């Protein structure tokens, strides 16, 4: 029987995975500079966490979750997004007891059952950050700036930031009435999902990709914001301007998750067909309380790495994909081979990337192997060199060769 990978998943093979490593390393280094600490949470959680945290009327909960019953007959779900699990961990481990703001990041796989296409997989990967404990609008701007800088540093071009405020519960209640007045006459023209959401969660209707043409004249939520929400949003915009982060205010931007309050934002880029959203996030001031913790404000973002890498490929961005070898050791003779095994291990302990032949090939074939691996040097050890305590070190770039004492090979390479 021939096995194949599940639909909507992919194998990341050598030659490709190096692109992922580069992008992930950029994310980690950026978070170090912004002083975010890594958190790793389980890839499955209690189903109720996502129902409560993500929202019952979202596409994720209604259609896309991988849910199963375990051997204890408990309902479990593979995580469809990163925020709910991080919030659960923040509460369970009482990180709210720390004296400073908690600034966390994660990188890992998520799972949603949807139709696979370019930029949309059933197992996909996200880089995300979450901040707890601060209502300061400057942290909203910082999170947005971190995501924008990530795209800039990996070489992604023409990234746009769209931003909106979805207000607080009181503002949304006032806006809901205006939106219902607008949507009800359109009800019969809208898709079935929108029709079912008009009563349950009319703001989610604005997130529909199918019916956007009907919403051009929809009332703006910004006109329903109270003084506090308006001041918060204006401060966020001012801070973004101070950091020279370009943005566009999109009053129909509500995001696809129910937990957002105040700031909501998305990153847009062209290159993978109809899909142009490559990341986004927002503030979720009530979510910590909803999952059983003390009332704590929060804000975060999530970036889809598959989409980022697809657009980098479309833009023909040059990434340093290969980690070349420092040295390829060629041993000629049984005694030289024995010494080469010891030498190889000693070099690796010293931090040198080193390799040798394991197939008993002739010297010419080993030289070709060194070339394929893009070794900077070959180090040739024969019986005569071994007797003298030396090794021939050859530059693969220039062809220059010199003899180096065996005991000094690591120092020379380093």
Strands (E), 253-347: 261-272, 275-283, 298-304, 327-331
Q: pLDDT tens string for the chain (414 positions)? A: 789 999 999 999 988 899 999 999 999 999 999 999 999 999 999 999 998 877 766 677 877 899 999 999 999 999 999 999 999 999 999 999 888 999 999 999 999 998 887 778 999 999 999 999 999 999 999 999 999 999 999 999 999 999 999 999 888 888 888 888 888 888 888 888 788 788 777 887 877 777 787 888 888 889 889 999 999 999 999 999 999 999 999 988 876 566 788 999 999 998 777 678 899 999 999 899 988 999 899 999 999 999 999 999 999 888 876 677 999 999 999 999 999 999 999 999 999 999 999 999 999 999 999 999 999 999 999 999 999 999 999 999 999 999 999 989 999 888
Burial grade of 63 (CB within 10 A; 0-12, 13-18, 19 or more): exposed
Q: In terms of domains, do 340 and 372 share one?
A: yes
- Cα separation of the two ends of the chain: 49
CA dist 414 and 407 (Å) reads 13
Please give the residue range of the domain that contains residue 112: 17-168+226-314
Q: The pTM is what?
A: 0.89
Domain match, 249 and 377 both: no
Does 217 reside within a domain?
Answer: no
Both 306 and 332 in one domain: the answer is no
Q: 268 lies in a domain? A: yes
Q: Nearest-CA neighbor of 255 among 110, 57, 109?
A: 57
Give me the number of domains the chain comprises. Answer: 2
Identify whether residues 380 and 402 lie together within a single domain: yes
Q: Return the CATH number at 409.
A: 3.40.50.800
> CA 150 to CA 220: how far, in whole Å?
30
Identify the bridge partners of residue 78 per DSSP, sorted by sequence position: 44
Whether residues 310 and 272 fall in one domain: yes
Q: Extract the tokens encoding 36.
A: 């975010």
CB atoms < 10 A from the CB of 124, how many?
A: 21
Give CB contacts under 8 A, 24+ apart, made by 391-396: 391/343, 393/327, 396/370, 396/371
Rounded Cα–Cα distance for residues 25 and 19 (Å): 10
Same domain, 256 and 392: no
- Residue 116 is predicted with a pLDDT of 80
DSSP states of 243-268 as a string? TT---EE-TT---S-TT-EEEEEEEE
Q: Are residues 147 and 112 in the same domain?
A: yes
Domain boundary among the residues 287, 314, 341 is at 314
Determine, yes or no, domain membership for 205.
Answer: no
Between CA 80 and CA 64 the distance in angstroms is 8
Helix/strand/coil for 7: coil
Q: How high is the pLDDT of residue 207?
A: 75
- 383 beta partners: none
pLDDT of residue 215: 83
Residue in the block written with tokens 């010891």 = 342
Both 279 and 408 in one domain: the answer is no
Assigned domain for 191 exists: no
Structure tokens at 61: 């909960």
CA distance linking residue 209 with residue 213, whole number of Å: 9
Rounded-to-integer distance, Cα 320 and Cα 373, Å: 14
Whether 98 is in a domain gets the answer yes
Specify whether 257 is located in the same domain as 398.
no
Same domain, 132 and 269: yes
Q: What is the full DSSP assignment across 349-381?
A: HTT--EEE--S---HHHHHHHHHHTT-SEEEEE
Say yes or no: 290 and 355 in one domain.
no
Structure tokens at 365: 């074939």
Asked if residue 202 is part of any domain, the answer here is no
Taking the C-alpha atoms of residue 284 and residue 413, their distance in angstroms, rounded to an integer, is: 52
Question: pLDDT digits over 99-113, tens only?
Answer: 899 999 999 999 999
CA nearest neighbour of 104 among 186, 28, 212, 22: 28
CATH number (domain holding residue 282): 3.30.930.10
In a domain, 407, yes or no: yes
pLDDT digits (tens, 9 = 90+) for 248-263: 999 888 765 667 889 9
Sign of CA dihedral 165, 218, 114, 148: negative
Co-location of 277 and 363 in the same domain: no
């Amino acid at each position: 029987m021939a096995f194949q990978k599940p639909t909507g998943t992919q194998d990341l093979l050598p030659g490709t995975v190096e692109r992922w490593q580069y992008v992930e390393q950029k994310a980690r280094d950026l978070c170090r500079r912004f002083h975010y600490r890594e958190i790793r949470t389980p890839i499955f959680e209690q189903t109720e966490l996502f129902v409560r945290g993500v929202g019952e009327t979202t596409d994720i909960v209604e259609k896309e979750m991988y849910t199963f019953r375990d051997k204890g007959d408990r309902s479990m779900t593979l995580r469809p997004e990163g925020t709910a699990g991080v919030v659960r961990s923040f509460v369970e481990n009482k990180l709210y007891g720390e004296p400073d703001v908690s600034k966390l990041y994660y990188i890992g796989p998520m799972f949603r059952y949807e139709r696979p296409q370019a930029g949309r997989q059933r197992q996909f990967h996200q880089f995300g950050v979450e901040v707890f404990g601060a209502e300061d609008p400057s942290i909203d701007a910082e999170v947005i700036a971190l995501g924008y800088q990530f795209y800039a540093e990996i070489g992604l071009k023409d990234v746009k930031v769209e931003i909106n405020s979805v207000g607080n519960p009181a503002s949304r209640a006032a806006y809901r009435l205006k939106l219902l007045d607008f949507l009800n006459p359109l009800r019969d023209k809208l898709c079935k999902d929108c029709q079912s959401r008009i009563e349950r969660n009319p703001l989610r209707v604005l997130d529909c990709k199918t019916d956007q043409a009907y919403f051009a004249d929809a009332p703006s939520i910004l006109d329903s914001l109270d003084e506090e929400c308006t001041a918060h949003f204006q401060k966020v915009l001012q801070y973004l301007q101070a950091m020279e982060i370009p943005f566009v205010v999109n009053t129909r931007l509500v995001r696809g998750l129910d937990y957002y309050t105040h700031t909501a934002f998305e990153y847009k880029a062209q290159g993978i067909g109809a899909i142009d959203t490559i990341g986004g996030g927002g503030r979720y001031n009530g979510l910590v309380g909803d999952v059983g913790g003390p009332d704590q404000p929060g804000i975060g973002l999530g970036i889809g790495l598959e989409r980022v890498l697809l657009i980098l490929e479309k833009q023909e961005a040059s990434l340093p994909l290969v980690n070349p070898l420092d040295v390829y050791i060629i041993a000629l003779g049984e005694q030289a081979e024995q010494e080469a095994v010891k030498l190889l291990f000693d070099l690796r302990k010293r931090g040198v990337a080193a390799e040798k032949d394991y197939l008993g090939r002739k010297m010419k074939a080993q030289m070709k192997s060194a070339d394929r691996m893009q070794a900077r040097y070959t180090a040739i050890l024969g019986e005569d060199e071994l007797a003298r305590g030396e090794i021939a070190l050859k530059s693969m770039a220039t062809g220059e060769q010199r003899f180096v004492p065996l005991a000094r090979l690591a120092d020379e390479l380093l």
